[in-house]
């Protein structure tokens, strides 16, 4: 085993690797960028080395500096995590040339699987089933179009060097092909430095099922069962589970052996994942008819590896370290067993109700579910941030991974919903409530899985207000009274229910809730009780409140319902979390807002910091509501800015390639 390793990554995966290294007595070296100077992963390691600016290309992709850091600190090996340099064969080679062990497969294996098109040609030779498609070298647009026509629509265009759901376009019909190709090539050039693409038949209602494989330097290779990652948005995984619902032992073995054959075809060493797209011609109820096709192999540890750890009881990072130090695999195929069911939810800084637009900001409140711990627990929470940390635009928007394990899928599901309910994040938009909606949706609960689950269930996933304005107002009123009470001098007769000595008085509150102004009336009754009316709804309000860590726990009764609500107050804004969901409500000072006009007409601003990729219009153009005006790139994805109303473009305020800050005005639009 190594004495010391360097972890060439950041965030949760760097912390994850450091935890296993620590357990095994292996010392760790962190590397960090300017933005990460005080990041959790730096604290998680024994030593750290600053390697440059905040943008990945100035730090985490600067492999000469990383190798120099390893040599300077006496590290014997480098763990690349996922993303960044993990699938960079030049880096793997450079490690070897500098006498360092790259904790991963050989440069030759990475190269063979690195390009989607080439790996498909290789898999075809190894007898692994492929999706019908074109993966040749000729990239002439007319020829690609011809191939797409031959395959038949819908087709999927994929960046040959792509990954992480980026550089992929589905094309429904022939007319749309040229535009989709251009946009795919542009994203591919920006993200992967190559615009080569391949074309595949778009499989209808497929599942994504992948096999975890592991090889060693003694010629052994095993599979550690499957993970179902069908629940996706923008071709990126949202929920992952193991085992795959409906999987039969026969199909598991067939897929496992195909994955091992794929790995052996490239002499694979270390942890890898063979991803399959699975057709279900018999529908959800006939899983025995599932047909699988090779999609790609990820030559690294995968984000969702914890679900495999949960069902097998193994530590895959430990296996990686053992294999990289020359030991044989700890177990043989027939010694591998799994039990129970595990699900992982990716908690991301993004706004699901606004096309999953990534969000940046500070984690003002960041509370993890109770009893979450790193290892051997039914609730595991892997992250790389702490309360108060910033989520910056430089890196991935994933904040944390929540992993649950249960004896059955139903048990795991219940545990996941409970743990998400206890995950409280304030300060930026996250997908936590959205994840809860997915988890309890009929399709997911019934395991009717395919990659279109999210669009299919859209009606119950997006724009959901499960808290309701009555409860939100009642909680905000209670919060205000608790707050006022806390400011008073202690009084032996004080009661937190708002008791007042002078008979009945009334009080008016103005709130903003879900973009709407609301008025509530609170009456203090002669017996000390409270009466609240919110619109049509009126009734007695009573509550007790307890300070809980920094927030407040309010046990609330209003309108015949009882709810325990956890609140955090920031100025006039109250963030509340309860079993039903989460909500934000702001008390308005009626006078301060009296003169304010409603719309900011004509301003079109960047929704987030990023780079302007292109403008689709020029000054003087007449545009229709919803028409694309500009494309921005931020957090490694492209976002289209559309016209909010009909109008005329007055002026473009930036040029393609410009960096813009959040809220920067991109162009001026004159309303029609
Ligand atoms: P996986 O296939 O492992 O489940 P994805 O493919 O969805 O995960 O995401 C992995 C991708 O995330 C990488 O290919 C890369 O583009 C991006 N990435 C790079 N570095 C990081 C990082 N430190 N944390 C999270 N994601 C990263
Ligand atoms: P990445 O490298 O970004 O992970 P993949 O090729 O692994 O790209 O595909 C990612 C996702 O895109 C899959 O999980 C699946 O949802 C979808 N997908 C890929 N290929 C197809 C296909 N031929 N038909 C339908 N969906 C596909
Ligand atoms: Mg993939």
pLDDT at 437: 98
pLDDT for residue 668: 86
462: tokens are: 């997006």
Over residues 108-123, the mean pLDDT reads 93
Helix orientation angle between 89-97 and 63-73, rounded to the nearest 10 degrees? 30
Exposure b/e, 464-485, CB count within 10 A at least 16 = b = eebbbbbbbbbbbbbbbbbeeb
> Residues 482, 475: contact at Cβ < 8 Å?
no
Q: What is the pLDDT of residue 372?
A: 62
At 594, is the pLDDT very low, low, confident or very high (cuts 50, 70, 90)?
very low
Output the 3-class SS for 408-442.
CHHHHHHHHHHHHHCCEEECCCCCHHHHHHHHHCH
Same domain, 441 and 346: yes
State mean pLDDT over 551-561. Answer: 90
Q: Across residues 590-612, what is the average pLDDT?
A: 55
* CATH number of the domain residue 192 falls in: 3.30.1490.20
Report the range of poorest mean pLDDT among 456-460, 576-580, 588-592: 588-592
Check whether residue 181 and residue 310 sit in a common domain: no
Rounded to the nearest whole angstrom, what is the distance from the C-alpha of residue 349 to the centroid of ligand 2? 23
Residue with tokens 């499957």: 226
Nearest listed ligand to the Cα of residue 237 = 1
Same domain, 482 and 369: no
Distance from the alpha carbon of residue 238 to the mean position of ligand 2, in angstroms:
14
What's the number of CA atoms in the CB half-sphere (13 Å) around residue 436? 20
Of 593, 620, 651, the position where a domain reaches its end is 593
Using the predicted structure, report yes or no on whether residue 607 has a pLDDT greater than 90: no
Residue 491: is its pLDDT beyond 50?
Answer: no
Give the pLDDT band of residue 603 (cuts 50, 70, 90).
low
**Residue 488, SS3?**
coil
Q: What is the pLDDT of residues 411-428, one digit of tens each?
A: 999 999 999 999 999 999
**Same domain for 220 and 321:** yes
Same domain as 404, residue 357: yes
The answer, yes or no, to whether residue 259 has pLDDT greater than 70, is yes
Reported as a single tens digit per residue, the pLDDT across 416-462 is 999 999 999 999 999 999 999 999 999 999 999 999 999 999 999 99
Please tell me the predicted confidence (pLDDT) of residue 157: 97
Give the chain's length: 672
> What digits encode the pLDDT tens for the residues 12-39?
999 999 999 999 999 999 999 999 999 9
Supply the mean pLDDT for the chain.
91
Ligand nearest to the CA of 131: 2
Give the DSSP H/E element, type plus range, for residue 484. helix 469-487
Burial class (CB in 10 A: 0-12, 13-18, 19+), 650: middle
pLDDT average, residue stretch 116-145: 93
| End residue of a domain, out of 458, 477, 505 | 458
DSSP state of 489: P
111 in any annotated domain: no
pLDDT band at 463 (very low <50, low <70, confident <90, very high): very high
* Ligand 3 mean position, distance from CA 87 (Å): 13
pLDDT at residue 93 is higher than 70: yes
Is residue 124 included in any domain, yes or no?
A: no
Please answer whether residues 242 and 308 qualify as being in contact, where contact means their C-beta atoms are separated by less than 8 angstroms: yes
627 and 514 within one domain: no
- Enumerate residues 6+ apart whose C-beta is below 8 A from 489: none
> What confidence score (pLDDT) does residue 662 get?
75
- Whether residue 534 sits in one domain with residue 433: no
Task: Please give the pLDDT value at position 593.
Answer: 39
Q: Stretch 84-91: mean pLDDT, rounded?
A: 96
CA of 236 to the centre of ligand 1 (A): 10
For residue 78, give the CATH number of its domain: 3.40.50.20
CA distance 85 to 396: 15
The reported pLDDT for the residue numbered 370 is 80
Asked whether residue 334 falls in the same domain as residue 380, the answer is yes
Q: In which band, very low, low, confident or very high, does the pLDDT at 374 lie, cut at 50, 70 and 90? A: low
- CATH code at position 560: 3.30.700.30
Atom nearest to 275 CA in ligand 2: 7
Q: Pick from 277, 291, 296, 454 the residue to mutate for probing ligand 2's pocket: most ligand atoms within 8 Å of its CB.
A: 277
Number of domains in the chain: 5
What CA–CA distances, in Å, run from 147 to 129, 139, 141? 20, 11, 10
Q: Which atom of ligand 2 is nearest to the CA of 116?
A: 6
Tokens at residue 295, please? 């999609």
Is residue 300 part of the annotated active site? The answer reads yes
Token representation of residue 275: 């991803």
- At residue 600, the pLDDT reads 38
Q: How far apart are CA 306 and CA 300, in angstroms?
A: 14
pLDDT at 75 over 50: yes
By most ligand atoms within 8 Å of CB, the mutation choice from 15, 82, 192 for ligand 1 is 82
Within a domain: 125: no
Is there a single domain that holds both residue 92 and residue 189?
no
If one residue of 230, 232, 295, 455 were mutated to test the ligand 2 pocket, choosing by the most ligand atoms within 8 A of its CB, it would be 295
Which of residues 593, 626, 657 is at a domain's end?
593
Contact, 453 vs 231, CB < 8 A? yes
Question: Is the residue at 120 inside a domain?
Answer: no
Mean pLDDT of 628-647: 78
Show the ligand 2 pocket: residues with CB < 6 angstroms.
Answer: 131, 156, 158, 162-165, 200-203, 206, 208, 232, 235, 275, 277, 295-296, 451
The SS3 of residue 174 is: helix
Q: Which two tokens stand for residue 629?
A: 């005006």
Pick the catalytic residue from 10, 27, 227, 300.
300
Same domain, 421 and 289: yes
Task: Give 483's pLDDT tier (boundaries 50, 70, 90).
Answer: confident
Please identify, by atom number, the ligand 1 atom nearest to the C-alpha of residue 229: 4
pLDDT in tens, 493-507: 434 444 454 455 788
Measured distance CA(582)–CA(585) in Å, rounded: 10
In a domain, 645, yes or no: yes
Confidence band, pLDDT 50/70/90 cuts, at residue 124: very high
Averaged pLDDT for residues 596-617: 67
Structure-block tokens of residue 541 = 């309000």
Which CATH number covers residue 328? 3.30.470.20
Q: Are residues 168 and 282 in the same domain?
A: no
Q: Is a pLDDT exceeding 80 seen at residue 608?
A: no
- Residue pair 153/173 in contact by the 8 Å Cβ criterion: yes
Is the separation of the CB atoms in 642 and 628 below 8 Å? Answer: yes
Q: Can you tell me the distance from the alpha carbon of 618 to that of 651, in angstroms, rounded to the nearest whole number?
A: 7
Any domain includes 115: no
Same domain, yes or no: 183 and 247: no
Judged by its nearest atom, the ligand closest to the C-alpha of residue 451 is 2
Q: Determine the Cα–Cα distance for residues 358 and 636; give it in Å rounded to an integer.
A: 10
- Give the residue, by CA position, lying nearest to ligand 1 atom 6: 164
> CATH no. for residue 619?
2.40.50.100
Q: What's the gap in Å between 235 CA and the centre of ligand 3?
A: 8
More confident residue, 297 or 551: 297
Is residue 182's pLDDT more than 90? yes
Domain of residue 47 covers: 4-103
Q: Which tops the pLDDT comparison, 136 or 488? A: 136
109 located within any domain: no
The answer to which of 77-81, 133-137, 347-351, 557-561 has the lowest mean pLDDT is: 557-561
126 falls within a domain: no
pLDDT in tens, 239-252: 999 999 999 999 99
Share of the chain above pLDDT 70, in %: 93
Instruction: Provide the CB-side half-sphere exposure for 107 (13 A, CA).
Output: 11
């Amino acid at each position: 085993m190594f004495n010391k390793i360097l972890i060439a990554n950041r965030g949760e995966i760097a912390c994850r690797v450091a935890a296993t290294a620590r357990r095994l007595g292996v010392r760790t070296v962190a590397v960090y960028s300017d933005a990460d100077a005080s990041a959790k992963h730096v604290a998680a390691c024994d030593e750290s080395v600053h390697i440059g600016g905040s943008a990945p290309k100035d730090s985490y992709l600067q492999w000469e500096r990383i190798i120099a850091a390893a040599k300077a600190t006496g590290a014997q090996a480098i763990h690349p995590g996922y993303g960044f340099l993990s699938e960079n064969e030049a880096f793997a080679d450079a490690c070897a040339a500098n006498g360092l062990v790259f904790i991963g497969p050989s440069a030759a294996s990475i190269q063979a699987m690195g390009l989607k098109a080439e790996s498909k040609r290789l898999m075809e030779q190894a007898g692994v089933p492929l999706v019908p498609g074109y993966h040749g070298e000729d990239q002439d647009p007319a020829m690609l179009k011809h191939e797409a026509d031959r395959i038949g629509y819908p087709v999927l265009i994929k960046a040959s060097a792509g990954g992480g759901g980026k550089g992929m376009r589905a094309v429904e019909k022939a007319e749309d092909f040229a535009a989709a190709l251009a946009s795919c090539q542009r994203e591919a050039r920006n993200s992967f430095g190559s615009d080569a693409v391949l074309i595949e038949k778009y499989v209808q209602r497929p599942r994504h099922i992948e096999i975890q494989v592991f090889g060693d330097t003694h010629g052994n290779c095993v599979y550690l069962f499957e993970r179902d990652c069908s629940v996706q948005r923008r071709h990126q995984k949202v929920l992952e589970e193991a085992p795959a619902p409906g999987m039969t032992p026969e199909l598991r073995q067939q897929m496992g052996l195909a994955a091992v054959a794929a790995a052996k075809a490239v002499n694979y060493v270390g942890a890898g994942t063979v991803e399959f797209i699975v057709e279900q011609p018999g529908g959800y109820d006939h899983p025995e008819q599932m047909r699988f096709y090779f999609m790609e192999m990820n030559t690294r540890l995968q984000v969702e590896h914890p679900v495999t750890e949960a069902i097998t009881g193994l530590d895959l990072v430990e296996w990686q370290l053992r294999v990289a130090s020359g030991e044989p695999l700890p177990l043989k195929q027939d010694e591998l067993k799994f039990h129970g069911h595990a699900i992982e939810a990716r908690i991301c800084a993004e706004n699901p109700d606004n096309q999953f637009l990534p969000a940046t900001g500070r984690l003002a409140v960041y509370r993890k579910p109770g009893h979450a711990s790193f290892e051997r627990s039914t609730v595991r929470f892997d992250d790389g941030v702490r309360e108060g940390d910033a989520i910056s635009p430089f890196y991935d928007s994933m904040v944390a991974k929540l992993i649950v394990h249960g004896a059955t899928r139903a048990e795991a599901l219940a545990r996941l919903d409970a743990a998400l309910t206890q995950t409280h994040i304030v300060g930026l938009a996250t997908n936590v409530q959205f994840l809860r909606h997915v988890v309890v949706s009929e399709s997911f609960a019934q395991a009717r899985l395919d990659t279109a689950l999210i669009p299919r269930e859209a009606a119950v996933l997006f724009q959901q207000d499960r808290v309701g304005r009555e409860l939100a107002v009642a909680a905000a009123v209670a919060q205000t009274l608790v707050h006022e009470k806390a400011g008073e001098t202690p009084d032996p007769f004080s009661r937190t229910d708002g008791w007042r000595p002078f008979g009945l008085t009334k009080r008016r509150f103005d709130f903003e809730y879900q973009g709407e102004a609301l008025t509530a009336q609170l009456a203090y009754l002669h017996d000390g009780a409270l009466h609240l009316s919110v619109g049509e709804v009126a009734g007695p309000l009573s509550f007790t409140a307890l300070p809980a860590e920094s927030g407040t726990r309010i046990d609330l009764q209003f309108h015949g319902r009882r709810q325990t609500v956890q609140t955090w107050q920031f100025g006039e804004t109250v963030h509340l979390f309860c079993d039903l969901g989460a909500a934000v409500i702001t008390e308005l000072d009626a006078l301060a807002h009296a003169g304010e006009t409603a719309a900011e007409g004509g301003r079109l601003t960047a929704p987030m910091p990023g780079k302007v990729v292109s403008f689709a219009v020029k000054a003087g153009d007449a545009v229709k509501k919803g028409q694309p005006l500009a494309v921005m790139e931020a957090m490694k994805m492209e976002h289209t800015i559309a016209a909010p109303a009909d109008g005329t473009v007055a002026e473009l305020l930036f040029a393609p390639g410009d960096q813009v800050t959040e809220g920067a005005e991109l162009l001026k639009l004159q309303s029609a």
